[in-house]
A and B are shown apart, each in its own frame.
Chain A
Amino acid sequence: MAAQTAGAAAAKATATPKSDDKEMLISGCEAIAHACRLADIDVVTAYPIRPYDTVMQMVSKMIADGDLDAEYIVAESEHSQFEIVKHASAVGARVFAGSSGVGWFYAFEALAVTAGLRLPVVAMVGNRALDDPGAFGCEHNDALAVRDLGWMLTWVETAQEAMDNALIAYRVAEDPHVFLPCAVSVDGAFLTHSQHLVKVPSKEKVDQFLKPYDRGSKLLHPDNPITIAPQVNEDWLIEIRKQNDEAMKRAQGVIVDAYKDFNRIFGRDHSPFLEEYMTEDADVVLVGQGTLAMPVKVTVRKLREQGKKVGFVRLKWFRPFPTDEIQQSLKRFKAVGVIDRDYSFGSPYSGGVLYTEVRSALYDLANRPLLHGFICGLGGREVTIEGVTEMSEILLKTKQTGKVDKQVAWIGVRE
C-alpha cells in the first residue's frame, strides 16, 4: 500500500532492465504474444477482429521463425476459436485465444462452458465497444459480460503488465485448486495499438515461474477413460456450481502466491489486486481499471500541486473481486469516485458495472465512504485531465458537504 511519489514512478520507468531481461519496443498485443512464446503454449486459435488481432500476427510470426512450436489453427469464427481451445485444454494442451467486442460475444456459448468445465484457457480481450453502431474504440463491456460465469478477469495498465499478467494468468488458471479460465483485458487502441518499452524476461526465468500444465487424473486421454460434461440436470448442477464458487474463492489466495513468486523471480514489485497511487494522506480517491489510470495519475499530481488531497486506486483483478482489499482501502477515505469505461443500462442509479460492484463491496462497512460513479471514455473516447479534474472536484465538494448530490454522472459527453 505504499504510495508512490511522482519522482519514484518516473525513476522506475527509466531504470535499466535486469541483466537477462531484454528490452523491446512492442505493442500490448505483441507483449501478450511474447507471453505465449515464453509460456510455450501448445495450441492457439485465430480469427481476426480488431483490436486484439495483432497478437495473432505476432504469434504466427514466432511460429514461422521457429521461436515457438505450437498448433496454429485459423478458426471460421470466434465460437469455434474458443471451442477448439476448450477441447485442447481438456486433452492437456496449454492454450491461447483472444478476441474483441462482439467477436468475444459470438464465442459466448463456448466461453460459458469453458468455465463450467473448469478448463484453464487463457484469453486476451482487446477491449472494444460493442457495435453496431460501428466502433473500434475501448469499452469494457465485452470482457465484463462473462463476469458471472467463472472466468477470472484482470485489467492491465501497460504493455509490461499485459505480458506479466498473461504469465500470471497461466500460473493461476492451471493451478489444480483453481482450474478456471482467465481473460486478460487490454484496452483497445491505447495498449493494443501502441508500442511501449517492455522488459521481456528469459525463457529460463519463466520456466521457474510456470511449471508445465498438468491436468492429472482429469486428463481426457484414451489411457485415462473418463467422460466430461455429462447431462446433469437438477440432480447435480447446484453441487457443480458450488464447486465453481469455491474454486473462484480459492483463486484469491493462489493469485497472492503467484505474485509473490513472480516478484521474486522477475525482480518486480507488483501488488496482487490494487495499485494505490498517492493515497496515503488522500481525502478522496478515484477507482478505475485499465489505461485510464494514466490520465488519472497525471491529474492527481496536478491537483496535489494545488494542495488538493486526491488519490487513485487501480483495480487489477475484477474476478475474483478483491472485496476485503477494496474495503480496507476505501474505508480510509471521505469520498470515493468509481470510474467506469462501461455502462449497465437500468442498473441501480444507472451506474456502471464497477460502480455497482464497489458499492456492493462497501455495504457491510460500518463507516462507508460517500460514493460517486462516473461513466466516461465510452467508445474509446479519451479520458482527459479536464474530465478527471471534474470528477475530483465533485468528490472534494462531496467531502465538504458530506452529501452526494447525484450518484452517477457522465463525464465528457456532449449535451
Chain B
Amino acid sequence: MSTIAVEVIYRGIFQKTMAKHITRGIVLAARKEGKVGIAFGRYGDSPERNGIPAKQFAIVADNDEELQGSIAKYEPTEVDVAIAVDDALCKGVESWAWYGLQPVNKLLKENGTLIVTTTQSAEELIPHIHKKELPYNLAVIKGKASFSGLWVYKNDHTDMRVLGALPRVAPHLFGSPALESAIREEWKDELKVASAEKSFERVQIRKVKPEEGNPEIPYSFTMPGWKSMEEGLVVRAIPLGSHFPGHDGGYRPERNPYFKKFTTRTMRPVVDFSKCTKCTLCWLQCPDSCFDVTPDGYYDANMEACCGCGVCEAVCPVDKCVTMVDDTRFDNNNGEWEMWKKDKDGYATWLASKIEHRPERSHGFHHRGQYEKERIEQTD
C-alpha cells in the first residue's frame, strides 16, 4: 500500500488558484514517475468565502487500485504533508461548514511534514500550532501570505517554491527531475523551474516533539442523531445576550458556541480607548457583531468572534483609534478593554508595540509597486 496524501490549507478565494496549482503540480509531477493521482478541493468549502480557511488535496498512488480508497471522499483521514500557505492558519482551520476548528496539523501522520510559507521562524510559529501526540516536521519556506494567481496579482512563484520543497520533505512523492519536467510541460516557464530548484535548497526543516506547541484543546461537539435532532429543520435561536462578563453593566450578545470564525482572521483591530469618542460606528457596522459594550460605554472587539475584516478601522472617524495589526503577533484572544482598564500606561506601550508590526501584513496592496517592494524585503 503506497498512497501519499497532501493537503494545501489556504485562504478561500484569495489563494484558491495558487492552491490548485500546487495540488495539480503534485499529481502531474508524480505522473512523470509513473504514479497516478487525483487533485480536488474540499467540497464543503465551496462556495468559498473571502479569507475563510479552505483545503485542497492531492493524492498520489502507485496504481489505480490503490487510488480507489482515496476517491469519493471529502477529505483524507490523514495526510503525509500539510501545506499552509498563510502562517496565520497555524492558529487553526475552521471552514464555514460543520467541521469545527481543526488544528492545522490535525491530519498529519507520524513524522509527516507541515510546510508553512512565513516570514517568521519555526520557533515563532510553534506556540500557535496545537500540540500533537505524535512527532512531526515543520518546514519553513520564507515568504508572506501570497495572493499569487488571484486576478491581477503578480505571480510570485509561491506555488513553485512550495512544489520545489516537496522532493526535500517527501522524496517518496516525486524527485526534482520529475517535478521540473512537469513544470516545463504544464507552465512552460524556465523561471518557474528555477524557483522550484532554489526552494529545494532553501527550505528549512525542524523536528517538532509531542510536548511542543499550543496546549489548548480545541472545542468539540457531538452531532446528534435523527432521534434526538429536532424535527422540521428547526434551529432554535441563540438567547439574547446579557451584561459584560464580570460587570453589572454593558452588554455582550450571545454568540454561536460552535462556530467561532476567528481563524478567518489575519489582522485584528487594536483600539486606543483613550481616543475613542463612543460614536458607536464600529459596533454598528461590524458585520459579525463582534463588539461587546463595556460597562463604561466603550466597544471592545471580541476576539472569539472577530473575522478581521477591517470595517471598524475603515468607519472609525477618529485618527489612530482603531488600527488593524498582524494577528500572528498575538498568542491569545483576550479582551483589550480589560487590559486597558487595569493598566492604561502599560496598555499604551503594548498598543504601540503591536502597531509597529502593521506593515508586515495587509489585506491587499494599496498602491502600485507595494507587492514587489515587500516581497523583496521579506524573502531575499
Residues of A within 8 A of B (CB): 116-118, 179, 217-218, 225-230, 232-236, 239-240, 242-243, 246-247
Contact = CB atoms under 8 A, between A and B. Distances in A.
29 contacts: A116-B233, A117-B233, A118-B231, A118-B233, A179-B231, A217-B234, A218-B231, A225-B236, A226-B234, A226-B236, A226-B237, A227-B234, A227-B237, A228-B232, A228-B233, A228-B235, A230-B233, A230-B235, A233-B98, A234-B44, A234-B74, A236-B98, A239-B225, A239-B226, A240-B226, A240-B229, A240-B233, A243-B226, A247-B231
A116 B234 CA distance: 11
Contacts of A218: 230-232, 234
Interface string B193-233: 00000000000000000000000000000011110011111
A233 B231 contact: no
Nearest to A176: B231
B253 to A, nearest CB: 13
B1 interface: no
Contacts of B226: 239-240, 242-243, 246
Contacts of A246: 226
A172 B97 CA distance: 36
B24 to A, nearest CB: 25
Interface residues of B, number: 17
B42 to A, nearest CB: 11
B237 A239 contact: no
Contact of A179 (B44, B98, B224, B232): B232
A229 B233 contact: yes
Contacts of B231: 118, 179, 218, 243, 247
A117 B226 CA distance: 15
Contacts, number: 54
- Which of B44, B97, B226, B230 has the largest number of chain A CB atoms within 10 A? B226
Q: Which of B98, B223, B233 has the most CB of A within 10 A?
A: B233
Given A233-B97, A234-B44, A234-B74, A239 B233 contact: no
B187 to A, nearest CB: 34
Given A179-B231, A234-B44, A236-B98, 12 more contacts: A116-B233, A118-B233, A226-B237, A227-B235, A227-B237, A228-B232, A234-B74, A235-B223, A239-B224, A239-B225, A239-B226, A239-B229
Contacts of B224: 239
Contact of B229 (A116, A118, A243): A243
Interface centre among B223, B225, B234 (most CB of A within 10 A): B234
Contact of A235 (B98, B232, B234): B98
A375 B207 CA distance: 74
Given A117-B232, A239-B225, A240-B226, A233 B44 contact: yes
Contacts of B97: 233, 235
Rank and list the top 8 A-B pairs by shortest CB-CB distance, nearest first: A225-B237, A239-B226, A235-B98, A242-B226, A118-B232, A227-B235, A218-B232, A228-B233
A232 B223 CA distance: 12
B40 to A, nearest CB: 15
Nearest to A245: B226
Contact of B234 (A228, A232, A234, A247): A228
Nearest to A244: B231
A225 B141 CA distance: 49
Contacts of A233: 44, 97-98
